[in-house]
């Protein structure tokens, strides 16, 4: 008798929980959650994230877009990811931030550029404006992790 009462009690409890779950939409939400998890798992197993990151990193370090810097704009020897045009020179270098800033201060002057007032240098970033005739060059040097990024924007007045 106790066993039948116990089973009946469990049956009523299961029926009550099932009814409540159906009424609240719990079962359909659980089903949607399981489907979402399965879809995410399928996507993760099809996408080699580490491989993509390595490919992206390799592409970023091997790309040299090209072009040439104007003759009077100095460019460090170990340039990477180089782009050059009459209006813009951009690249990264493995030289330290301090060494790159020093290089540009010396080389721009050597190429006949005069440093204008208003140079700004904060930790890891330097912006110096130079003038030469009717041209202006804004040299921006930033520390970007292990590398240093150089951007020279040129404008004719």
Write the pLDDT tens digit of every residue in 67-109.
999 999 999 999 999 999 999 999 999 999 999 999 999 999 9
> Token match 């106790």: residue?
2
Whether 20 and 87 map to the same domain: the answer is no
Q: How many structural domains comprise the chain?
A: 2
Whether 68 and 126 map to the same domain: the answer is yes
Residue range(s) defining the domain that contains residue 69: 64-156
Q: Which residues contact 104 (CB under 8 A, 6 or more apart)?
A: 74, 128, 139, 141, 150
**CATH number for position 135:** 3.30.310
CA 149 to each of CA 5, 62, 116, 136, 154: distance values in angstroms, whole numbers, following the listed order:
78, 15, 21, 20, 16
Whether 74 and 16 map to the same domain: the answer is no
55 contacts 114 by C-beta, under 8 angstroms: no
Residues with pLDDT less than 70, the chain: 1-65
> Does 56 map to a domain?
no
* pLDDT at residue 39 in the model: 39
* pLDDT at residue 8 in the model: 41
Whether 89 and 26 map to the same domain: the answer is no
* pLDDT at residue 54 in the model: 40
> Does 82 map to a domain?
yes
> Does 54 map to a domain?
no
Whether 77 and 139 map to the same domain: the answer is yes
- Its pTM surpasses 0.85: no
Whether 104 and 143 map to the same domain: the answer is yes
> Does 55 map to a domain?
no
* pLDDT at residue 157 in the model: 87
* pLDDT at residue 156 in the model: 94
* pLDDT at residue 1 in the model: 56
């Amino acid at each position: 008798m106790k066993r039948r009462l116990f089973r009946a009690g469990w049956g009523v409890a299961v029926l009550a929980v099932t009814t409540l779950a159906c009424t609240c939409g719990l079962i359909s939400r659980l089903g949607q959650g399981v489907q979402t998890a399965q879809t995410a798992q399928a996507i993760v197993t099809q996408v080699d994230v580490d491989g993509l990151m390595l490919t992206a990193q390799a592409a970023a370090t091997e790309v040299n877009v090209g072009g040439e810097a104007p003759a009077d704009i100095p460019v460090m020897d170990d340039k990477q990811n180089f782009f050059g045009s009459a209006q813009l020179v951009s690249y990264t270098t493995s030289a330290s931030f301090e060494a790159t800033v020093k290089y540009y201060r010396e080389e721009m002057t050597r190429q006949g550029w005069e440093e204008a007032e208003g140079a700004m240098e904060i930790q890891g970033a330097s912006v110096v404006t130079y003038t030469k005739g009717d041209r202006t060059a804004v040299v921006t040097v930033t520390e970007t992790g292990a590398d240093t990024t150089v951007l020279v924007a040129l404008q004719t007045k």
